[in-house]
Amino acid sequence: MVTIFESLTWHEVKVTSNSAARHIPLAYGEVGTGGTRVTLIAGTHGDEGPWSALTMKALLQHPIESLKGRIRIIPTANALAAEANTRNSTIDSPNPIDLDGVFPGNAAGSHTERLAAHIAPLVADSDVIIDLHGGGSWCVNAFVKRFEGSEQLAADFGAPFISNAPNKPGGLTTYARGLGIKVVNIEVGGRSGDEMYWHDQIVEGMERALYNMDVLSLPAAPAPAKVSTDVSKTEALRALVGGIFVPTLRADAVGTIVPAGTEMGKILDMHTLEELQVFTAPHAQTAMMLLRPEICVVEGSGLVYVIAQPV
Ligand SMILES: [Zn+2]
């Protein structure tokens, strides 16, 4: 059996980068002609990338005969940031630039702006964009951002939570939506003992979405998606001061709803171990959208949780 993955044709674009390497590759694979054109992209934020990249390979293990549309994958959109394990690469001067904030890019700009300019035509040449973010090296999360006109696509993932996407100027999905493309933003998974569970959830979600959009035929219809809990506007909870973060809720709490007063975690002074801040769930039903599952040192103002309330 020849798989869809084995049938990919790979392309490589050279993006001007540091002087030592001259160029950093932007690689993408394509397979199929005709039908619905789907682009999967991972790692626009470098510290969120590898988990989502792996889901693409798992998704494409079906026989090539089952492909009815065209699939393009961009496993690592922001290679320098991925290598540095940071959200943005540090190559842009004078300040780091968020790749997911400069679309459609600038072919004569700095590295990240040029990267966006190379990715933008690949976005534009699509009917559907699945933009894979997720938790990553320091957090886990469990939600999907839904866009108007792409409600079914978001629901197909069966993520624990679903929220309406904000309009992010310069964002990849905002750019795609402006072109009338169906989009979804996946914020699922990240580094923890459960990373393969969330990997598998994403793969199943993509299979269901591609099947429902008639891009992939399967021997049997996929099981219906779990019903996601609709949440209101999300809230970011940050450290008041820096220190040693000690989670009370661990990786298995992401995607759950906890009652008000539940201790989520605390911050201790790194010099004296004095308790500086205790995070407790503020709402009768506090939806755990994103959390830090492991002990770490967190900077003052660092993001520690994203929570919401069921609608
Ligand atoms: Zn991201």
All structural domains of the chain: 5-228 (3.40.630.10), 231-308 (2.40.50.100)
Residue 106 pLDDT greater than 90, yes or no? yes
Chain mean pLDDT for the chain: 97
Residue ranges of E strands in the chain: 9-16, 23-31, 37-42, 70-74, 128-132, 140-146, 161-164, 182-189, 229-230, 235-238, 243-247, 257-258, 263-268, 275-280, 286-291, 296-298, 303-308
Residue 4, pLDDT score: 98
Cα-only R_g, the chain: 20
Q: Could you tell me which of 58, 72, 46, 24 has the C-alpha nearest to residue 134?
A: 46
65 φ, ψ to 5°?
A: -65, -20
- The CA distance from 284 to 302, in Å, is 25
5 C-alpha vs ligand 1 centroid, how far in Å? 25
4 C-alpha vs ligand 1 centroid, how far in Å? 27
Residue 166, pLDDT score: 86
259 C-alpha vs ligand 1 centroid, how far in Å? 28
217 C-alpha vs ligand 1 centroid, how far in Å? 30
pLDDT band at 232 (very low <50, low <70, confident <90, very high): confident
46 C-alpha vs ligand 1 centroid, how far in Å? 8
44 C-alpha vs ligand 1 centroid, how far in Å? 7
99 C-alpha vs ligand 1 centroid, how far in Å? 10
Give the burial class of 303: count Cβ atoms within 10 A of its Cβ; 0-12 exposed, 13-18 middle, 19 or more buried. middle
48 C-alpha vs ligand 1 centroid, how far in Å? 6
- The CA distance from 217 to 220, in Å, is 8
65 C-alpha vs ligand 1 centroid, how far in Å? 33
Structure token digits, residue 163: 């929220």
191 C-alpha vs ligand 1 centroid, how far in Å? 14
151 C-alpha vs ligand 1 centroid, how far in Å? 20
234 C-alpha vs ligand 1 centroid, how far in Å? 15
Cis amide bond preceding 94, omega within 30: yes
- The packing angle between helices 49-59 and 195-212, to 10°, is 50
Is 42 in contact with 76 (CB distance < 8 Å)? Answer: yes
Residue 167 pLDDT greater than 90, yes or no? no
236 C-alpha vs ligand 1 centroid, how far in Å? 14
- The CA distance from 279 to 274, in Å, is 15
Which pTM value belongs to this model?
0.97
184 C-alpha vs ligand 1 centroid, how far in Å? 13
Residue 57, pLDDT score: 98
100 C-alpha vs ligand 1 centroid, how far in Å? 8
Alpha helices in the chain (DSSP H): 49-59, 79-84, 111-124, 151-155, 172-178, 195-212
Instruction: Give the model confidence (pLDDT) of 181-214 as tens digits.
Output: 999 999 999 999 999 999 999 999 999 999 999 9
